[in-house]
Structure 1
Amino acid sequence: MVETFNDIKQAILTCHYCADTLPYPPKPIIQIHPDAKLLIAGQAPGKKTHDIGRPFDDLSGDRLRDWLGITKDEFYDEHQVAIVPMGFCFPGNTFHKNGPSAGKPSGDLPPRPECAIKWREAVLSQLANIELTIVLGAYAQAYHLDQSGNVTEQVKLWQYWLEQGKLVLPHPSPRNNRWLKQNPWFEAEVLPELKARVKALISKPVS
């Protein structure tokens, strides 16, 4: 029986439950510690993250850290920040079916559902000090908010969700530059409040 935090973490890091369905050998990528006060709930590692072995070590991560107002050292401090995607392993690619790009990767497959079913409740039960959950992507939104609506609609409800200790963000990928230009209120209204909340959490001692 998995009973302690260390048991759960070790069991996850050695999990091969989905080995037959993954394009590469399982390589669960998470960052967790019971002291963490901020939770990043995302989708699943991409191929680059799978290769590197560290989440958000890319341009998306640079933007996310800028949104949060924290340094790379603070972001990768497991005593401060937990990173728990809906799927712990790279699920594989989708591919273009037509045109000159046919057969080439077009994106990532959804997170494997087995991960959340098998591990998520057990992991979150160990993160007793989380005060703010950052929700990235539709699958994390459906789980953590019990909402499957449009991401933009949920981001616009940022004040409501902050009262619940949660905040929906658009994905920080450069692919969302157009969304950011179309929604200038996000950077003007949401980010200052987000940075203030995160700064208060990071500087707050564990009770």
Structure 2
Amino acid sequence: MPDLSFHIDAVEIVPFAAVPMLAFRLKIRNAKSDEAIHTVALRCQIQIEVTRRRYTPEEQGRMRDLFGEPDRWSQTLRSMLWTHVNLVVPGFEGATTTVDLQVPCTFDFNVAATKYFEGLSDGEIPLLMLFSGTVFYAPLDSALQVAPISWEQEARFKLPVKVWREMMDTYYPNGVWISLRRDVFNRLYLYKMQHCIPTWEQALERMLLAEELVKS
């Protein structure tokens, strides 16, 4: 039975994909080098280990929406789920192979992970990758066999914040995505038309300015 282990060597931005995407260079090692690995049907759960880094006062302010006031972070700061990814690893001979674990990324600010990434100014994002799935293999002079991969297999990686920002700047230069309920959008659309405002940005700026004038 294969004895697999997993390690992330590096990360790169995938250019020209349909959505923003990162490619993690995943190295898979089989301690039993005499076994032929035919295929690995791999599942990966990626978690953000938010307690494994420090936060500046500015970052703490940006993350009140996620974790509340900083004086409560000892209770509210917990690892969060980022995403799930599936990957079919082709067969390999010998002990190791390296493949790209491609992770689609969203810029939707209704998603907690997006709020977290965008709230960071610099440094690294501590990730924990939990692996499971099925491996198809053939021991020396034996027929094809199947074995599960347990959730105990994991790998840690520190994703540079600048890589995340470069990726989003590549796909959405000087832009962000906000998802609205249809009724809210219809009200905003009606306001935009009634006031003959050419762009959505100008409509929002006008509404914000009106709010500021009321408060003053």
TM-score, structure 1 normalization: 0.27
**Structure (1 or 2) with the greater strand fraction:** 2
Of structures 1 and 2, the larger Rg is shown by 2
**Structure (1 or 2) with the greater helix fraction:** 1
TM-score, structure 2 normalization: 0.26
